[in-house]
Every structure is written in C-alpha cells, then in structure tokens.
Amino acid sequence: MPKVRTKEVIEKFNLELISGEEGINRPITTTDISRPGIELAGFFDYYPAERIQLIGKTELTFTKKLNKSERAGRLERLCSDITPAIIVTREMEIPEELIEASEKEAVPLLRTKQKTTRFSSMLTNFLESKLAPTTAIHGVLVDIYGVGVLITGKSGVGKSETALELVKRGHRLVADDCVEIRQEDEDTLVGSSPELIEHLLEIRGLGIINVMTLFGAGAIRSYKKISLVMDLEIWDPKKQYDRLGLDEEKMKIIDTEVTRLTVPVRPGRNLAVIIEVAAMNFRLKKMGVNAAQQFTDKLSDVIEDGDHEDR
C-alpha cells in the first residue's frame, strides 16, 4: 500500500510542531480521520489509533471539565505507538498533559489556524489523493476534446507517432510510453506522466522530442481523467472487427472499468483522425446520441415495413 508520512502533512499545511518531533516519519495508512470525542469521555474500546486524531474546540473544552488525573490518563491513551499525529485546530492552547504524553510516546503534536471542519475536509482530500491505489500502463495518454484517451498496443505499433499527429492537430499530450494511473474514487482514473519523461515523446528515427518546447505550453497537460482506451493492433484479416459499434468492450484498470475500442492498424489508415472521431463519438454517446443504435433502429423499421408489404 502506498504511504504518506506525517512530515508531508506538516509541510503541505504549514503546521506548527509543538512536540513529538521524533515521530514525524510515522506512516499514515488510511484516509480516515478521527475526532476523539468519545475517547476523551473515557470509551477507548474501539479507538482507531492508526488514524490522524483531530482535536477541535468541542474536544478541548470538554477536557477542561475533567479533573487533572482523568485528563492526563485519557490524553495519554490518545498517544499510541501507531498514531501518526494529533492535530489541534483554531490555534488553541494545548493542555500540558497532552504535550507531555506526545513527547513521551513520540507522537507528533501539531497545531493549525484553520477551523476544524474546513481543515478536516482539506486533509481528507490530500490523503485520498496520496493514498489512492496506483498502477502504471505502457501506452500514451492524450486529452482529445476534453476526453482522456489512453492509447495502448504492442511496442512499435505507432502509438507515439499517432500522439504526435494528435498534438499537431491541437490536442494535448499527458504522457508517453509510461502512464501512471491512480484511482481517485470508485469510477475515476487519473493518468499522469512520470517526472523523468514528462512532456517527452519518443519517435523512432527521430529520437526523443520535447512537446512543450516544440508546440508550446498549450500542447501538454500534467494529468487527465481516463475515459476511453484505444487499443491499436496490427490488422488481422482472419479477425472479425466491429463495424457497427454496438458492442461496448470494457477494460478493467485497478477496480474501474473503462470503455475500450480496438482499432486495426494497416497502411493508409489515418489513426489520428480515427481516434479523434472516436473521442467525439464517445462524448456524443455520453450526451445520449448513439449513431449505431439509431442506424439499427432504422434498419429494424425498414425490415418490419418490408415484412408488412410482403403480406
């Protein structure tokens, strides 16, 4: 599982480190955040110690009503050996007992100026982005008319050359050769390029070219949601290819299914135009316009009319 460390949260949100500096390299393995109100009331049976603990005005006000020994005991129990951090919001004053317990157990005790609910939302979004399931796929990702198209196929089939033609036609390159994909929620896949090869295209015979340098900043983008997969394969005369477009094939990436179209490659076929039209047709289908279905419905009507006339 990918991990983010407490020090990354500190740097991201410019948090004040109060105590427990030894633990800033602790791993954060879940996007869930805990508001330990019920624990401060004394119920620790289901304490989610592996989560970041977020303490707001309500929790701190409650601790002031506890006697000194109760407060010390409960705040100490918040600081476990797997707790990645305790964050106090609204820049409030922190009880001495919590500072001592966090230092003793090396649990980073942090403070922010943000309000609790707002900060909780920002922190959750950050963790979900960092801890999202990831994979890498050999292919090219291009933004075509707002549709993220992942072009796949065997090495040498012409993926990068097709991407170059698409960029020349005004579309935007996201990644060539290796596409890093993260699943941001149940049905959203976002692709980006590894930092080392960002903005670069490898064209056999030319070598490596920098798309941003050649075509400008408008020809690239850093990441894009993947909506469609175009699989290029060498034309097989024995294979039956879809000529109507009624059947929708799916490809599973991580846990998300994406529409996949197989495009046979042979001399004389303009792949860039085919992929461009496929992206436009995909958008139309999403808007409720399905040309293949309309044709099939009309064909059925013609056949039915013919049957009636024969009778």
- SS3 string, the chain, reads CCCEEHHHHHHHHCCEEEECHHHCCCEECCCCEECCHHHHCCCCCCCCCCCEEEECHHHHHHHHCCCHHHHHHHHHHHCCCCCCCEEECCCCCCCHHHHHHHHHHCCCEEECCCCHHHHHHHHHHHHHHHHCCEEEEECEEEEECCEEEEEEECCCCCHHHHHHHHHHCCCEEEECCEEEEEEEECCEEEEECCHHHCCEEEECCCEEEEHHHHHCHHHECCEEEEEEEEEEEECCCCCCCCCCCCCCEEEEECCEEEEEEEEEECCCCCHHHHHHHHHHHHHHHHCCCCHHHHHHHHHHHHHHHHHHHHC
159 is in an annotated binding site: yes
Confirm or deny that 250 is annotated as ligand binding.
no
Active-site residue flag, 242: no
Question: Is there a catalytic annotation at residue 138?
Answer: yes
306 is annotated as contributing to ligand binding: no
Active site residue 243: yes
**Catalytic: which of 57, 138, 168, 169?**
138
Per annotation, catalytic residue among 111, 159, 199, 221 = 159
Examine the residue annotation and report whether 225 is marked as an active-site residue of this protein.
no
202 labelled as ligand-binding?
A: yes
> Is 103 labelled a binding residue?
no
Query: Active site residue: 143, 176, 177, 231, which one?
Result: 177
Q: Is 156 annotated in some ligand binding site?
A: yes
Identify the active-site residue in 64, 239, 243, 308.
243
- Tell me: is residue 158 an annotated ligand-binding position: yes
Confirm whether residue 229 is marked as ligand binding. no
Residue 113 annotated as part of some ligand binding site: no
Positions at the binding site for Mg(2+): 160, 202
Active site residues: 138, 159, 177, 243
Positions at the binding site: 153-160, 202
Positions at the binding site for ATP: 153-160
